[in-house]
Structures are given as structure tokens and as C-alpha cells.
Structure 1
Amino acid sequence: MSPIETRTISTLALIYALRMFGLFMVLPVLALYASDYEGASATLVGVAIGAYGLTQACLQLPFGVWSDRIGRKPVILIGLALFSAGSAMCAMADDIWMLVLGRALQGAGAVASTLMALMTDLTREENRTKAMASIGASIGLSFTLAMVIGPILATWLGLSGLFMLTAILAILAMFLLVAAVPTPKQQIRSRDARAFVNQLGDVFKDKQILRLSYGIFALHAVLVACFVAVPVALVKAGLVQNAHWQVYLPVMLVSFVFMVPFIIIGEKRQKMKQVLLIAVLLLIVSLMLLTLELNSIAGISFALWVFFVAFNILEASLPSLVSKFAPAGFKGSAMGVYSTCQFLGAFAGGMLGGYLSEYFGLVGVFIGTLPLLLIWVVLVMTMAKPRHLSSYRVALTTQACANEQLEQDLLAISGVHEVVIMLKDQAAYLKVDNTTFNPTSLKQINI
């Protein structure tokens, strides 16, 4: 990897992390502080927690299309500016509706897919997997830090100060983008990096992709719904607000340790379906434990540990499964549907958690979200066994595009299972078995 690629990937991962850190930081505290706003009810607090998900879901695809027309960096800057403005609005909010609008404006800066597209423009094919893994790791790290640091900072700064800090971090991300990320000489219309409108119909017909998309919807709906109730439950169990980090820190760290063996078994021994089923069942166990242990700090902590072991397994494995199931050349569109469902899940979870909390109490939140997971269990059990294939994009010359035998030549290479040639993109999209595929074998073909 060249020095400029290393710098670019590191900076984009940091930009992604700063944005996600701001979103995640309020998750463990918003239910506690938002109830003090004028006009607040448990239902509206839940809406405020999940509001960002609705605008994120609606604007992911339009921002990606827009970036093809006016450039990646301008669109990302506009998205970060919207996110910063939404954060500032939340900081100045004195009633619940202004807080809801601010959260929705935060979500309007839907630049996740555009950041991925920019990363694709600035890295070579052979380094792209490492780049995406770096961004994925930055998201996981930002979530863990936010869960621990959020309650501490909220004690010092209050909720308004937390949102103002988020606005400042977004501005810092804008400066990083301008100062440290080069402008790509050309934009790659990579169908592995972002969604394409004309492919979405085919993606929605794919039952395996829809199963996984429902899974991420349910996962984030349950996550957000639980955090409408869990912070309140900890306070009622006797743990003051500024000490919540003492629960979240060990829970998050130990859950990561226990998650790793499951991922290794799933990938190395090709047991991803079984690992997925175990993780969903663990989520169900965690919700049942929460209904039984609401008066015990130790009980809530143990239930959260079970929850986050399952959550971390699923967050790591679901995108990998989408990549495995998506046909060659459809990964970006499949991930677009998947991401949209993820954000819709966050919005639905906030609304559902708030409503259940207001009318059925904290126990009602955990019992009321169980049906989402029971449906998921059925979908996992009926899911096809995933093929352990990876996506690979090959840039084509004009001469190669004119070769009528190119598809057959590519399929003849060891380890290549699928080939889709996109003449407009001047690219071939492959599904390959990394145990037998060697990229250097492509040199045998004049591409």
C-alpha cells in the first residue's frame, strides 16, 4: 500500500469515526436527559432517539447519485455541514419537537455510501478490502468509545454540551477532508462501492439479501428500543447517571473478546449460518434476562453483556454475508438496501421503544421487541448456506471490452465462479474463491 493510500484510508476512517461517534455518543444518555424537555413524553423521546434513522434511510441513495454528478468531496462536505447544523440545533433545543427536528437534520447528512465511493476512487483494487476493513474497524471502535464516554461527558457538559461537541467534531471532519484527502482524478462507477438505481429491483427479488436486510433492520430496531429503556432501568436499579460508564466499559470490552471466536469459526470453518442463528438466539436470551433482572445492576450488566456479544457478532458477520450472497456487480446495490434497512430499523426502534415504554413500562419494551427476533430466527433457519466467495473488480481496457470471449476467458481462471461485465463502467465484476484465486492469473488475459 502506497503512503498516499495509507494516509487517505486513515483519514477517511477517522472522518467516518468522528461522524458515527457523535451519533452513538447520545445513545446511552438521551433517554435520561430528553425527558426534561418541554412537551416530552416517553414516545416522543423514543422518536428523538431514532429520528436520524429516517432521514439517513431516505437520503443515502440520492447522495450517492448526486456525488456522481458534482463530485464526492462536495457532497461529503454538504453532508457533514448538515450533520453539524443538526447537532447545533439539538444543542439549542428547549422543547422535544426541536430536538426531534435536530436529530432528523443530523441524519440528513447521509454520506456513508459517498465516503465509501471516495475511498474506492482513491485506492487500488488490491488494497480495497483492507480499506473497507479499516473503516469497519473505525465504526466498531467509535461505537465502543461512545457508549463509555457518552455518559461521562454528559455529566460534565449536559446533553446540550454533548450535541455541541458533536457539531464541533463534524466541523473537524470537514477540515480533515479538505486538508488531508486528495481529490480523485477520476470517479470510479464501482458497483461494489455504492448502490445503483437500476439494480435495486433485482436486489429486492433476492430472498437471501432480503433476509439479511430484515436482520439488520431487526437488530438496530432492538438496539435503539433497548436504549430507550436500559439507561432508565439502571437509574431505577440504583446506579446514578454519571456512573453508567462503569457498566458499559466492561460489558463492551468483554463482549468483544467473546465475539472473536464466533467470527473465526464462522469464516474459517464456513459455519456462518450456524453462528448467525446462535447470535440471534443470544439476543432473545438477553431480552428475556432484562425482563427478569430490571431491579439488579448486576443482572442488567450480565444481560447487556450477552446482548453485545450477539450484537458484535451480527454487526461483523451480516455485511460479510451480504457480500457473499450478492451476485457479481451487485454488491453496492445490495449494501445500499441493507444500509437503508439498518437506518429504518433505528427509526422504528426509537418509535417502538418509546411507545412501549410509555404504555407498557420498561418490561414492555423488551417483551414487545421479542417478535422481531422470533421472525428473524425463522428467516435464518430457512436461509441458504452462504457460499464463501469474495467480490473482485477488474478494470478493462477498450480493447478488452471488445473481446467477445472475455467472459469465458475469465470464467476459465481458477477460483472464478461468476463474471458480470459492465461495458459502460469498463469493468468486470467477479465472484471468486480466495483459496484458489490468484489475481496475478488475470495477466494471462489481455485486459
Structure 2
Amino acid sequence: MERGLKTLLPLALGVLTAEAALGLVNNFALVLYVKDHLGLSARFAGRAISLFLLVEMLAKAPGGHLSDKLGRKPLLLFAMALAALVPASLPFVAALEPHLIVPLRIIDGLAFGCFWPAAVAAIADAAPPGRRAEAMSIFYLAYVLGIALGPPLGSLSFWTGRLDAPFITASLLLLLSALFFGLSPTGGKGGIVKVGPPLQKEGDRRSAATAPIWAILLVTALQSMGIIALVSILPLLAEHVYGLKRETMGLFFFGPAVLVGLFAPFLGRLADRMGEERAVKVGLLLVTALMWAFTQARHPIHVGVVATALALAYMLAVPAWLSIIASVGGERHKGMALGGMGTVQGLGAMIGPLLGTDLWERGHLLPLYATAITFTLSLLIVTLTVRAPKMV
């Protein structure tokens, strides 16, 4: 990583640790604790997670607006400090009254609703001129690795023999995230110091690729819904279709995530050199083709190879797509624009688990086809609406 992009490292580490904490609680610890320790149904845990997603979705647009007004760092520090209180207190509060998990999840949703638009906008602010897609690839790398780290960290924490160990681990991760954000270089209100050289020569600067707002909203919702629909039943697919054991499936999916991480900076640089329009279209074309191939894979090795290639292709497309989204609101309203996109993404994320689990009951492979269809529709919309940038 070159000197200019090294200043993004504290932000990326903050995102990674925050996402690891969230994945540990939402995708691993909460449902086990609610079902096995509190004696409540898994459905209650699912509703608690859905409530979190609803509050997070509603809070993203106001959170983005606050990050524009108050500054990225103050809001990030506040959000992580508030979020850290929830996992640590959850086992004690739930022991008194299990249904008090509900207000805790509301607080958690508010904290993360403020966190995401501020974090993405901070990275977009800090990106050197002409290298925003590369900077976004670093953000997405942190996001992917955080998702991959959550379940393994949860498994390791259970080795302590304490039922509250995963929640304490999550709180420590969130405090560590606050520390990383505190180390990030700040600029003026709502900004981070911009550093590093542009890739283009002066006089050859381009504005961001453009797309109609309806297309951005629709593609963002479709991709979020399709991905979460698949992720929500991925453990079931791994066990019942691909024949993986529960003890090893976490490591099986962690390996490809690490491999993707190694190539993420290169793919971000490639996206910048290709230009946002071409990177989004080529990346989505590859993702769509590989997703249809994924529907036919059955052997674990074949699944791993296709899944890794799919993730690499997505890493080419998504930083450029985030860069296009970041340009919608202009410099003064970047946080609010990203918050609005986050709200739409959250709506897709709320529908995704309902869609994925319902289709699973109707046929184990149907969620795979549904995700492939959402990416096909996204590719069609992007191909027809995304336009090359103008010279400025």
C-alpha cells in the first residue's frame, strides 16, 4: 500500500473490527444464546435481528446527515462507544428479563445506523484524487474480512467456557474500533485530510461516472437482497447440499475471504485505471456469469473455486459502484447521499432473509437461482444507465 493510501489504514481497521463484532453477534452468538441459554425460540432471535436491521436502515440517512454536520470522527467515536455497551450488557439484562433484548437491539441499530454512512464517507473523503475506487476496495476488503472473522472468533470465545464470552469479545472489538477511528487523520467538519498523488495527470481529471438515482437505488436494493438471501441460508447449503460439517464450514469460507483480501488492493487499482463505468460493468458481468455457475456447483472444491472467483469479480465492481454512489450528493452532502443508499440497502437486507429462508423451504437450490436473477437484473440496469464520466 502506497504512502497516500496508508492513511486509510486506521479507518479500514476500524471498519474490520466493527464488522467482526457485528457478525459475531448477529450471525453467530445471539441465536445460540437465545435458544440454548434463555430457552426461547430461534424465531425470537430472528425477530431481534430483523429489528436491528430495521432501526439501522432508518438511522442511516439521518446518520449520514449528522456526519456532514458534525464531522466523521466525532460521530464514529460516539457510535462505537454506544454500540460497545450493548453486547457487554446483553447477558446481564437478558438474565433479568429476556425481552429487554429488544430495546438493546434498538440502541445497537441506532449506533450502527450512524456508523456506516460516516465510515464510508470518511474513506471517500480521504481517497487521493483519481483513486477513490482503490480506496473503496480497501473499505470493502475490511468489510469482507470482518464478516469472515466474526464466526471463527465466536467459536474461539466459547472455548473459555463462559456463555457471555462472545458478547464480551464483541464489546472489546467495538472499543478497539473506536480506538482505530480515533487515530484516523481528521480534516474540517465532515472531512478527513486528503493525501496522496492522483493517478491522472493534471488536466486529465475526470468526474465520477453517473447513473440516474432510480437506477442506483434499485441496483443497490437488488444486490443487497440477493446477497443476504444467499448468506441467510449458506450454513444450510454448506451442510445439506455441499456436505460440509458444522465444525469446518467456518474455516472453509474464511479461506476464500483471505485470498480475496490479498488481491483487493490490486483490484481497486485496476478499477481506477479502467474507470468506474467499465469496472462496474465488467465486474457485474463476471459476477453474474459466475453466480449462474455457482448454481450448478456441488462438490466442495468446485464450490470453493467458483465462490472465490465470484468474490474477486465482485471486488472489482463494488468499489467503483460505491464511488459512483459517493458522487451523487456532491462533496457537501456526501454523507447524506451514502446514508440514503444505506437505507435502501438495509431494506434489501431485511427482505433478503425472508426471501432466502422461504425459498429454502420450497427447494434447497431456489435461493441460489434467486440471487443469480437479482444480479442479472442489476447487470441489465447498470449496462443501460451508467454513463462514462465527463472530462473536467
**Would the TM-score normalized by the shorter structure come out above 0.5?**
yes
Residue 281 of structure 1: aligned partner: 288
Residue 20 of structure 1: aligned partner: 19
Per the normalisation by structure 2, the TM-score is 0.71
The alignment status of 1:220 with 2:224, answered yes or no, reads yes
Residue 375 of structure 1: aligned partner: 377
Distance 1:119 1:253 in 2: 21
Q: Can you list the C-alpha shifts for 1:72-100, whole angstroms capped at 9, x where unaligned?
A: 55543432233223333655658997667
Residue 439 of structure 1: aligned partner: none
Q: Is the 8 A contact 2:12 2:142 kept in 1?
A: no
Q: How many residues align?
A: 361
Matched residue of 1:382: which SS? helix
Distance 2:180 2:264 in 1: 32
Distance 1:181 1:264 in 2: 22
Shift of 1:332: 4.5
Q: With a CA cutoff of 8 Å and minimum separation of 6, indicate the structure with the bigger relative contact order.
A: 2
- Alignment of structure 1 residues 4-153 onto 2, 5 Å: 9-25=8-24, 29=28, 33=32, 36=35, 38-41=39-42, 51-66=51-66, 74-88=74-88, 102-109=104-111, 110-115=114-119, 137-144=138-145, 146-147=147-148, 149-153=149-153
The structure-2 alpha-carbon separation of the partners of 1:146 and 1:52, relative to structure 1 and needing over 3 Å to count, comes to same
The structure-2 alpha-carbon separation of the partners of 1:128 and 1:214, relative to structure 1 and needing over 3 Å to count, comes to same
- Alignment of structure 1 residues 19-418 onto 2, 5 Å: 19-25=18-24, 29=28, 33=32, 36=35, 38-41=39-42, 51-66=51-66, 74-88=74-88, 102-109=104-111, 110-115=114-119, 137-144=138-145, 146-147=147-148, 149-158=149-158, 160-175=164-179, 180=183, 187=189, 208-236=212-240, 237-255=242-260, 267-270=272-275, 271-282=278-289, 284-289=291-296, 293=298, 296-323=299-326, 331-357=334-360, 359-387=361-389, 416=392
The structure-2 alpha-carbon separation of the partners of 1:74 and 1:24, relative to structure 1 and needing over 3 Å to count, comes to same
Distance 1:183 1:262 in 2: 27
Q: Is the 8 A contact 2:134 2:319 kept in 1?
A: no
Q: Is the 8 A contact 1:31 1:229 kept in 2?
A: no
Specify the code of the residue in structure 2 equivalent to 1:220: S
The structure-2 alpha-carbon separation of the partners of 1:364 and 1:34, relative to structure 1 and needing over 3 Å to count, comes to farther
The structure-2 alpha-carbon separation of the partners of 1:50 and 1:308, relative to structure 1 and needing over 3 Å to count, comes to farther
Matched residue of 1:362: which SS? coil
Distance 1:72 1:331 in 2: 11
Distance 1:330 1:117 in 2: 10
- Identity between Structure 1 and Structure 2 (%): 18
Specify the code of the residue in structure 1 equivalent to 2:177: A
Distance 1:72 1:326 in 2: 16
Q: Is the 8 A contact 1:220 1:343 kept in 2?
A: yes
Distance 1:279 1:99 in 2: 42
Distance 1:116 1:277 in 2: 21
Distance 2:271 2:123 in 1: 28
> Quick check: which has more Rg, 1 or 2?
1
Shift of 1:318: 0.9
Distance 1:361 1:18 in 2: 36
Matched residue of 1:244: which SS? helix
Specify the code of the residue in structure 2 equivalent to 1:274: K
The structure-2 alpha-carbon separation of the partners of 1:283 and 1:54, relative to structure 1 and needing over 3 Å to count, comes to farther
Distance 2:132 2:292 in 1: 35
The structure-2 alpha-carbon separation of the partners of 1:32 and 1:133, relative to structure 1 and needing over 3 Å to count, comes to same
Distance 1:19 1:174 in 2: 9
Q: Is the 8 A contact 1:47 1:347 kept in 2?
A: no
The structure-2 alpha-carbon separation of the partners of 1:79 and 1:129, relative to structure 1 and needing over 3 Å to count, comes to farther
Unaligned runs of 5+ in 1: 193-205, 390-414, 417-447
Matched residue of 1:111: which SS? helix
Distance 1:265 1:70 in 2: 34
The structure-2 alpha-carbon separation of the partners of 1:267 and 1:340, relative to structure 1 and needing over 3 Å to count, comes to same
Distance 1:369 1:34 in 2: 30
Q: Can you list the C-alpha shifts for 1:179-237, whole angstroms capped at 9, x where unaligned?
A: x46886x52589x9xxxxxxxxxxxxx96333233223222222222222111222334
Shift of 1:130: 6.9
Q: Can you list the C-alpha shifts for 1:267-321, whole angstroms capped at 9, x where unaligned?
A: 43443353144134135315523xx52xx43343244224323332332221133
Distance 1:218 1:300 in 2: 23
Structure (1 or 2) with the greater strand fraction: 1
Q: Is the 8 A contact 1:262 1:313 kept in 2?
A: yes
Q: Is the 8 A contact 1:13 1:135 kept in 2?
A: no
The structure-2 alpha-carbon separation of the partners of 1:332 and 1:142, relative to structure 1 and needing over 3 Å to count, comes to closer
Unaligned runs of 5+ in 2: 195-209
Distance 1:232 1:136 in 2: 29
Distance 2:285 2:130 in 1: 27
The structure-2 alpha-carbon separation of the partners of 1:242 and 1:265, relative to structure 1 and needing over 3 Å to count, comes to same
Specify the code of the residue in structure 2 equivalent to 1:152: P
Q: Is the 8 A contact 2:136 2:319 kept in 1?
A: no
Q: Is the 8 A contact 1:283 1:311 kept in 2?
A: no
The structure-2 alpha-carbon separation of the partners of 1:372 and 1:275, relative to structure 1 and needing over 3 Å to count, comes to same
Distance 2:14 2:174 in 1: 8
Specify the code of the residue in structure 2 equivalent to 1:15: G
